[in-house]
Structure 1
Amino acid sequence: MPEVTFPGPEGRLEGRYQPSKIKDAPIALILHPHPQHGGTMNNKVVYNLYYTLHDLGFSVLRFNFRGVGRSQGEYDQGVGELSDAASALDYLQTMNPAAPQCWVAGFSFGAWIGMQLLMRRPEIVGFVSVSPPANLYDFSFLAPCPASGLIVNGLNDRVAPPEDVARLVAKLRTQRGVVISHETLEGANHFYEKGMDDMLRLVKGYVGPRLGDLSAPTTSPA
């Protein structure tokens, strides 16, 4: 689990980068929850998404937004954090110039940032949004949503209520040219204290077939 630092808009950003053993592997950026509510790149959902996508063959990067851990800067209401995410993607692309696919995955606040990054970076071909807080943030910028992806949430989520996520999905599904897959896990809350394995299984089941013939050795988190 190599520790990395790379330049961000307000100074150095701290991350963890795990390259794939596959030549010219796809790349995936994973974004963490709200910095002011304990969100870090070591959040359990983020950590498990990181290894799940690596197991599928991706070269993966997760990092701390500004002001979190050893990342420099201060919280910036999502504006600066979006710039951080763009810098992280730049770094990931520099490390993998021949990557055939680029994906973004985010959890909660990170899902909101990830969807904004999706709108600004046409090279992103797929996304995974876990528990997007559609009740707390405006997702109307997804007009239209430029890529197909997966949205997962828990039926017992009180932070991002399932009815709000369902309304977001319904809106996105009216757009032509994209397919939004949506899965709601019974018994899961916002933090997947129950249902983590089921959520990761859904991610694998969705992302894997979209990668074509890539194959990867199975690894486990240390």
Structure 2
Amino acid sequence: MAQPPFPTTATTLLLDGPAGPLEVAVDLPEPEVARPLLAVVCHPLPTEGGTMHNKVVTMAARALRELGATTIRFNFRGTGQSAGSFDHGRGEQDDLRTVVAWARQARPDHALWLAGFSFGAFVSLQAAAGLRPDGLISIAPPAAGRGWDFSAIEIPDCPWLVVQGDADEIVDPQAVYDWIDSLPRKPQLVRMPETSHFFHRKLIDLRGAIQHEVKGWLSQA
């Protein structure tokens, strides 16, 4: 089955994914700010209600779109109109690889940034070494507990931002900071005080933090 063409207007479509149809949403920046840049944003844990429509995911995509990126959100297998069933981060990496391959084939001259929130951060981090993005954004990465193994993650040699709320009730903030301290190459880290896992009442602050930290990457995009 041939993949659909890359859209020229904002739309939702279905790709031929590794577990069946894969639901994808593409949103374009305003023409006056558009850059040759794709940003793929991964959503949180689907077994706890996470989808590509999650507010943190849509705000992160908005922040990047306002900087000129074409943003791509998608539902992992078993979520929304995406076929298949939850695979604990393994098959979800294949879903991400499918989306990236489609986007890169359609826009080979564009830089690629990967972003993810919570479980989506885990999936994008796990896949990043093989995908070799030009930028990486991890929001509340679940670096301890919950069954996600961060010990073998290989971070690609690209700009990398971690945003973590200090009042996160789901991801232990100190575990995230300890994990970062253990790494040979450390990310840009933004600690957001009085901020919960889902950034309640802090979404605009998240948008500003992302834009402030990644603006310096744009010269490479």
Q: Structures share a fold, TM > 0.5?
A: yes
**1:198 lines up with 2:205 in the alignment:** yes
CA contact (8 A) 1:12 1:71 kept: yes
Which of residues 158, 162, 170 in structure 1 aligns to 2:173? 162
**Structure 1 runs (4+) greater than 4 angstroms displaced:** none
CA contact (8 A) 2:34 2:68 kept: no
**1:212 lines up with 2:187 in the alignment:** no
Unaligned segments of structure 1, at least 5 residues: 215-222
**1:117 lines up with 2:127 in the alignment:** yes
CA contact (8 A) 1:5 1:13 kept: yes
Which of residues 125, 135, 139 in structure 1 aligns to 2:144? 135
**1:67 lines up with 2:78 in the alignment:** yes
Displacement of 1:141:
2.0
Q: Using the alignment, how far apart are the partners of 2:34 and 2:59 within structure 1?
A: 23
Unaligned segments of structure 2, at least 5 residues: 1-9
AA aligned opposite 1:38: G
Normalised TM-score (structure 2): 0.88
Normalised TM-score (structure 1): 0.88
Q: Which residue of 2 aligns with 1:37?
A: 48
The count of corresponding residues between Structure 1 and Structure 2 is 208
Percentage of pairs with the same residue: 31
Q: Using the alignment, how far apart are the partners of 2:220 and 2:86 within structure 1?
A: 41
AA aligned opposite 1:46: V
CA contact (8 A) 2:128 2:155 kept: no
Displacement of 1:138:
1.4
**1:3 lines up with 2:12 in the alignment:** yes
**1:19 lines up with 2:19 in the alignment:** no
AA aligned opposite 1:212: S
Displacement of 1:105:
0.4
CA contact (8 A) 1:33 1:110 kept: yes
Q: How does 1:97-116 map to 2 (within 5 A)?
A: 97-99=108-110, 101-116=111-126
CA contact (8 A) 2:38 2:70 kept: yes
